[in-house]
Amino acid sequence: MLLTREQLEHSAQPHQQVAEFWHRNPQPPPQNDPHAARKALRAHTDAVLKQLGPTPKELIEFYHDIPMRDGYESSLKIVKPSSGLAGPLVVLLFGGGFVAGDKDQLTEIARILGVLYGATVVCISYRLGPEHKFPIAQYDAWDSLKWIAENASGCCLNADASKGFVVGGVSAGASIAAALSRKLQEQPVKYAITGQWLAVPSLMHAECCPQEFRSSYISLAQSPSSAGLSEQARQMMQDAVQWERESDLRYAANSATSLSGQPRTYFQVCGMDPLRDDGLIYEEMLREAKVSTRTDFYAGCPHAHWVAMRGYEIGQKARIDTLVGIGWLLGMEVSRSLAASALAQWKNTELVSYHLFVVGLGQKERLWGWAIATPQKVRLWGWAIATPQKVQVQVQVQVQVQVQVQVQAGAGADYEQLMTYTT
């Protein structure tokens, strides 16, 4: 899906709703600490899980550990229909720049796919940097995918991969999915992948971008410090994981396998994302290889905007697009209205997102946090400076716009102030 230079430049300008969101919610400092990034993303996941509530009666949800090639036990989160009927198989990989995220991150999508399509959905784990360097994450995902394919019809998964076998993810997870999809052409597993979902993926670097597309590979220069994936954050991820730029496990575009052997592919691409052109160019490469593709493009939106902007129309649209797009991959596409209804079953509109950012400042740390309710009702943000491990900032937004802020200081804590604003 190639765009003109003018269209690319226009897509890198903030959408009206994005500008409104930023006006209401000042952006935190760039993230430079992988452990803080991990903590922040887990806090958001916990908030979403709280919104979702217990597993619906239509589904069974549990964890299952499987061995990796080095003996490590990796955990899967499995969501499947309680009816006992074997449906298609979907494997999801979380995002987080290879330093953050976990198998719980995509629980909402997993549950809805289970209800909408009768699918068995497996959310896999992979080890993160800086504790684990490249390509441990890719090996974990590969080993998990092999196990899932080999055990698809067993009592644990009870899936029928002949009805569809989709692999995909968001950001780092999408990057791993795309790389493995190419790798599996050389080393196939029991069932061939029939579709891949690539949401805001990292698929290439400038030197491995095909020559004929390099004039269109400009998003890194256009949006170097985009919210959600700043230049500083990208460098932090590189330093933490130490990936090899020429490896086909890091960038799918490095693979020498034929693109014509790829399954149908669904992309979600954001206009203000430094990774925008990875998705657009790779989609064009697949299309030229006669692979069936579909793309939802969000002009004026930063990387994975739907995570923070759940309560905004453009965030809601992207979330519905995901459900419809994966249905297309399965050959079971449902209407947008049905997807929206399924999404609404677990939607608590009062709480949109919760973030906690910690930025190292030598002997002290600055803690940033904010919670956002429906855009017209409540916004709250605060900060405190404290000695590490001594102050916890807890921000909660409850139904009916009840806001609670609590600062807990341990012995010897040196916090300066907490500021809150509500509208």
Same domain, 60 and 35: yes
Tell me: the pLDDT tens digits for 7-32? 999 999 999 999 999 999 887 776 78
| Whole-number Å distance between alpha carbons of 273 and 223 | 6
C-beta of residue 140 within 8 angstroms of C-beta of residue 98: no
Please tell me the predicted confidence (pLDDT) of residue 108.
97
Last residue of a domain, one of 310, 344, 378: 344
Same domain, 277 and 364: no
Same domain, 220 and 298: yes
Residue 110 makes CB contacts below 8 A (sequence gap 6+) with 77, 79, 90, 92, 121, 123
Same domain, 306 and 392: no
Last residue of a domain, one of 320, 344, 368: 344
Q: Whole-prediction pTM value? A: 0.83
The CA–CA distances, whole Å, from 282 to 188, 251, 266 equal 22, 11, 11
Please tell me the predicted confidence (pLDDT) of residue 406.
38
Residue 184 makes CB contacts below 8 A (sequence gap 6+) with 145, 192, 193
Residues 16/17/19/25 CA torsion (nearest 10 deg): 170
| Whole-number Å distance between alpha carbons of 177 and 91 | 9
**Residue range of the domain that includes 368:** 353-409
Please report whether residue 372 resides in a domain: yes
Instruction: Tell me the one-letter amino acid at 45.
Output: T
Last residue of a domain, one of 288, 313, 344: 344
- Number of domains comprising the chain: 2
* Exposure class string for 29-66: b at 16+ Cβ within 10 A, else e: ebbbbbebbbebbbbbbebbeebbeeeeeebbbeeeeb
Please report whether residue 47 resides in a domain: no
Q: What percent of the chain has pLDDT over 90?
A: 73
In the block, tokens 């589904």 appear at 59
| Whole-number Å distance between alpha carbons of 340 and 242 | 40
| Whole-number Å distance between alpha carbons of 205 and 217 | 9
Same domain, 338 and 359: no
Tell me: the pLDDT tens digits for 367-422? 333 333 333 333 333 333 333 343 344 433 333 333 333 333 333 333 333 333 23
Tell me: the pLDDT tens digits for 117-149? 999 999 999 999 999 999 999 999 999 999 999
C-beta of residue 327 within 8 angstroms of C-beta of residue 333: yes
Residue 316 makes CB contacts below 8 A (sequence gap 6+) with 306, 310, 340, 343
Helices and strands in the chain, H and E counts: 11, 13
CA torsion sign, 185 to 175 to 199 to 276? Answer: negative
Residues β-bridged to residue 396: 404
Alpha helices in 296-390 (DSSP H): 313-330, 336-344
| Whole-number Å distance between alpha carbons of 264 and 165 | 11
CB atoms near residue 362 (< 10 Å): 5
Same domain, 111 and 71: yes
Please report whether residue 46 resides in a domain: no
Tell me: the pLDDT tens digits for 45-66? 999 999 999 999 999 999 999 9
Please report whether residue 417 resides in a domain: no
Please report whether residue 418 resides in a domain: no
Tell me: the pLDDT tens digits for 143-181? 999 999 999 999 999 999 999 999 999 999 999 999 999
Please tell me the predicted confidence (pLDDT) of residue 32.
83
Same domain, 288 and 312: yes
Q: DSSP letter string over 149-164?
A: HHTTTSTTT-B-GGG-
Same domain, 134 and 236: yes
The two structure tokens encoding residue 174? 């999408």
User: What's the CATH number where 318 sits?
Assistant: 3.40.50.1820
pLDDT class of 347 with cuts at 50, 70, 90: low
| Whole-number Å distance between alpha carbons of 108 and 307 | 12
pLDDT(354) > 70: no
Residue 155 makes CB contacts below 8 A (sequence gap 6+) with none
At what angle are helices 231-241 and 34-52 packed, to 10 degrees?
100
